[in-house]
Amino acid sequence: MTHIHTAKQHPVEPVDPVDAVVVGAGFAGLYMLYRLRQLGLKARVFEAGDGVGGTWYWNRYPGARCDVESMQYSYSFSEELQQEWQWSERYPRQEEILRYMNHVADRFDLRSDIQFETRVTAATYHDDSGNWTVRTDRGDAVEARFFISAGGCLSAGRVPDIPGLDRFKGKWYHTGNWPHEEVDFTGQRVGVIGTGSSGIQAIPAIARQASQVVVFQRTPNFSIPAWNRPLPLEDQQAWKADYAEHRTKALSTRSGILYEYGQRAVPEVSEDERQQEYERRWKRGGANFVHAFNDLFINKQSNDSAAEFVRHKIRGTVKDPKVAELLAPTDHAIGTKRICVDTGYYETYNQPHVSLVDLRATPITGIVSNGIRTDAATYELDSIVFATGYDAVTGALDRIDICGLGGKALKEKWTAGPRTYLGIMTSGFPNLFFITGPGSPSILTNVVVAIEQHVDWIARCLQHMQSHSLGVVDAQTAAEDEWVLRVNQVAAGTLFPTTKSWYMGANIPGKPSVFLPFVGGFGNYRVICEEVISNGYKGFAFRPSRQSVSQ
Closer of 49 and 286 to ligand N01 (Cβ)? 286
* Helix/strand/coil percentages in the chain, nearest 5: 35, 20, 45
Judged by beta carbon, residue 34 or residue 518, the one nearer ligand N01 is 518
Bridge partners of residue 193, in order along the sequence: 216, 386
CA distance 208 to 81: 36
CA distance 96 to 89: 9
487-526: which residues touch ligand N01 (CB under 6 A)?
A: 502, 507
Measured from the CB of residue 74, what is the shortest distance to ligand N01 in angstroms?
14
Residues in region 465-494 near ligand N01 by CB under 6 A: none
Contacts of 54 (CB under 8 A, 6+ apart): 24, 25, 26, 27, 28, 29, 101, 152, 155
Cβ-based neighbours of 228, under 8 Å, separated by 6 or more: 65, 89, 90, 91, 285, 343
**Contact 430/475 with Cβ under 8 angstroms?**
no
Does position 31 interact with ligand N01 (CB under 6 A)? The reply is: no
Q: In the set 193, 224, 487, 549, which binds ligand N01 (CB under 6 A)? A: 193
**According to CB under 6 A, which residues from 208 to 227 bind ligand N01?**
216, 218-219
HSE-CB at 159 with a 13 A cutoff on CA atoms is 21
Closest C-alpha to 93, from 284, 203, 231: 231
Nearer to ligand N01, 102 or 362 (CB): 362
Beta carbon nearer to ligand N01, 232 or 509: 509
74, 226, 259, 292, 452 from 285: Cα distances, Å: 20, 5, 11, 12, 26
- Residue from 188, 201, 302, 420 binding ligand N01 (CB under 6 A): 201
Residue 198, interface with ligand N01 (CB under 6 A)? yes
Among 145, 338, 399, 526, binds ligand N01 (CB under 6 A): 338
Nearer to ligand N01, 67 or 452 (CB): 67
Binding to ligand N01 by CB under 6 A, coded x per residue (else -) over 371-390, reads ----------------xxxx
How many chain residues touch ligand N01 (CB under 6 A)? 27
Query: With binding defined as CB under 6 A, does residue 236 bind ligand N01?
Result: no
Residue 2, phi then psi, degrees to nearest 5: -95, 120
Nearer to ligand N01, 338 or 373 (CB): 338
Q: Which of 359, 368, 533, 541 binds ligand N01 (CB under 6 A)?
A: 359
Q: Three-state SS for 81?
A: helix
Least distance between ligand N01 and beta carbon 88 (Å): 17
DSSP structure string for 433-500: EESS-TTSSGGGS-HHHHHHHHHHHHHHHHHHHHHTT--EEEE-HHHHHHHHHHHHHHHHTSSGGGS-
Q: Does 67 bind ligand N01 (CB under 6 A)?
A: yes
Binding flag, residue 434, ligand N01 (CB under 6 A)? no
- For ligand N01, what does the binding mask look like between residues 158 and 187, x meaning CB under 6 A? --x--------------x------------
Distance CA 101, CA 93 (A): 13
**Rounded to an integer, what distance in angstroms lies between the CA atom of residue 168 and that of residue 512?**
32
Binding flag, residue 545, ligand N01 (CB under 6 A): no
197 binds ligand N01 (CB under 6 A): yes
Q: Does 26 interact with ligand N01 (rule: CB under 6 A)?
A: no
- Taking the C-alpha atoms of residue 532 and residue 90, their distance in angstroms, rounded to an integer, is 37
Q: Would you call 71 exposed, middle or buried from its count of C-beta atoms within 10 A (0-12, 13-18, 19+)?
A: buried
Minimum Å gap between C-beta 175 and ligand N01 is: 6
Asked whether position 199 contacts ligand N01 by CB under 6 A, the answer is yes
Nearest to 353 by CA among 192, 193, 220: 192
Comparing CB distances to ligand N01, the nearer of 323 and 403 is: 323
* Sole window of 195-203, 229-237, 291-299, 407-415 interacting with ligand N01 (rule: CB under 6 A): 195-203
393 binds ligand N01 (CB under 6 A): no
Q: Is 113 in the site for ligand N01 (CB under 6 A)?
A: no
Q: Please, what is the minimum distance in Å from the beta carbon of residue 369 to ligand N01?
A: 19
Distance CA 131, CA 142 (A): 10
Q: Is 66 in the site for ligand N01 (CB under 6 A)?
A: yes
Task: Using CB under 6 A, list all residues that contact ligand N01.
Answer: 65-67, 154, 160, 175, 193-199, 201, 216, 218-219, 338, 341, 359, 387-390, 443, 502, 507
